[in-house]
Amino acid sequence: MKDLIITDAPEKEPERQLYFIEKCREWVREHYKDRKPTMNIKTFGCQMNAKDSEKIEGILSKIGFVGADDEKADFVLYNTCTVRENANLKVYGRLGHLKKVKEKNPDMLICLCGCMMQENEVIEKIRKSYRFVDIVFGTHNIFKVAELLYNRIVAKSQIIDIWKDTDMIVENLPSVRKYSFKAGVNIMYGCNNFCTYCIVPYVRGRERSRNPKDIICEIESLVKDGVVEVMLLGQNVNSYGKTLDEPMSFAELLEEVEKIEGLKRIRFMTSHPKDLSDDLIRVMKNSKKICNHLHLPLQSGSSDILKKMNRHYTKEQYLDLVKKIKENLPDISLTTDIIVGFPNETDQDIEETIDVIKQVEFDSAFTFVYSRRTGTPAAKIVDTVPESVVKERFDKVLKVVQNSSAINAKKLEGKTMEVLVEEQNDHDESLVTGRLSNNLLVHFKGNKELIGSLVNVKLNECKGFYYIGEMVY
């Protein structure tokens, strides 16, 4: 039976996957008779995973699955993250629960994919202790979900397909969008930076940029379909284009995206400080579409720790960069990521981090406790700092961050600004929620017909991380 599949199926992508989508569709019609089977996709982790889940959902929808809210769905998929240990623990916890659900409904299909699956120990554990999981794949072959599902149907046993790395970028497969008016667009995959604490380069592979023509085409077709805001995605967008046959910088790509008629807002994530160019600052300054927001992960304010993290900048270089950005873009909202508890961090190191937060006055910051990731260089360092000390330092840093965000948010109180209306308020149907260019949210009176449009809103009251406002006509 397996041989038959291989000889029948086209070798080239995406044709091969389109073939398997059709095969799975036929199976769905026969297997579920006159009902539409349901799927439930849970996504952990970052925007990359969210985007991957949209692609997977696009393929599964084509096959005939429809969304369901609960885990009693016919097809349950967890797209996993492994950046910190608690992300992994959450998945194992949920799997324990799913096992019971599947005992009552043996026809249910369970699929695991994403970053956690790129780790050997995880795969070993699934092979041994999680036999009830039907399909397992990693980050490099998500485009193959239809083929793997078909293999599972034919083989009737656990299917595991993990690739170590890839240079393949498969275009033109179906995808869905969570929002009709905004979309994430991959501009590059993988990461070559090897920050010593981080597992991402090991689970997402080497950096590869998408062809600019494919990116522009995708955005043009999104705009035709009603999208007004795009988020360009990559682990380090500032190094975009370096590996292309005809190299192109991120700043140049942005200039091309800016030209797309009908597109109103451009965002991007994430910028590594070491690669942020003067050209990028110039393009942002001249742009009418690039949002007033830059996420610039600091990780630590101590040059000593930054060196141990392999971040390739010092405290002074980071501060100089911020100064240059603020001189050119005075209203920019700066946000960041901070890790507290890197092995053998000292009180002095933490004071340096706090000093940077105070000097930069970040608009907001994601603050993480360092999590040891097996296989990374930092995992080998013997850490002598007790957990309780890390916790105390974390709370201290968090307070400074919160203080800085509150002061910044307050500055906009009373101003009228343009927002993109994103959704109706869950608790009060007379309210809608809009996003400012700086990424903060505002709730105001309005109906759901406004969703997807840009309107002006007066920010009457600052509530810390969001505003209460009123629409201005």
Cα distances (Å, whole numbers) of residue 429 to 157, 459, 461: 47, 19, 20
198 binds ligand SF4 (CB under 6 A): yes
Cα distances (Å, whole numbers) of residue 377 to 301, 310, 315, 374, 398: 20, 10, 22, 8, 27
191 binds ligand SF4 (CB under 6 A): yes
Q: Is 296 in contact with 304 (CB distance < 8 Å)? A: no
Residue 469 β-bridge partners: 444, 459
297 binds ligand SAH (CB under 6 A): yes
In whole angstroms, the minimum distance from the beta carbon of 300 to ligand SAH comes to 9
Q: Give the interface segment with ligand SF4, choosing from 115-123, 190-198, 220-228, 405-413 (CB under 6 A).
A: 190-198
Interface with ligand F3S in residues 5-64 (CB under 6 A):
45-46, 48-49
Distant-in-sequence, close-in-space partners of 113: CB < 8 Å, separation ≥ 6: 52, 56, 77, 78, 79, 80, 135, 136, 137, 138, 139, 142, 145
Q: Which is nearer to ligand SAH, 266 or 339 (CB)?
A: 339
Instruction: Give me the residue label for tokens 């995605």.
Output: 233
84 binds ligand SF4 (CB under 6 A): no
Instruction: Give me the residue label for tokens 């996957």.
Output: 17
Interface with ligand SAH in residues 341-400 (CB under 6 A):
368, 370-371, 373
20-23 CB contacts, 8 Å cutoff, 24+ apart: 20/146, 20/147, 20/149, 20/150, 21/59, 21/62, 21/63, 21/146, 21/174, 23/146, 23/150
- Out of ligand SAH, ligand F3S, ligand SF4, none, what residue 194 binds, judged by CB under 5 to 8 A for its kind, is ligand SF4
- Out of ligand F3S, ligand SAH, ligand SF4, none, what residue 115 binds, judged by CB under 5 to 8 A for its kind, is ligand F3S
- Out of ligand SF4, ligand F3S, ligand SAH, none, what residue 373 binds, judged by CB under 5 to 8 A for its kind, is ligand SAH
193 binds ligand SF4 (CB under 6 A): yes
Q: Which is nearer to ligand F3S, 114 or 452 (CB)?
A: 114
In whole angstroms, the minimum distance from the beta carbon of 373 to ligand SF4 comes to 10
Question: Residues interacting with ligand SAH, by CB under 6 A?
Answer: 83-84, 197-198, 200, 235-236, 270, 272, 297, 299, 337, 339, 368, 370-371, 373
Question: Residues interacting with ligand SF4, by CB under 6 A?
Answer: 191, 193-195, 198, 200-201, 235-236, 272
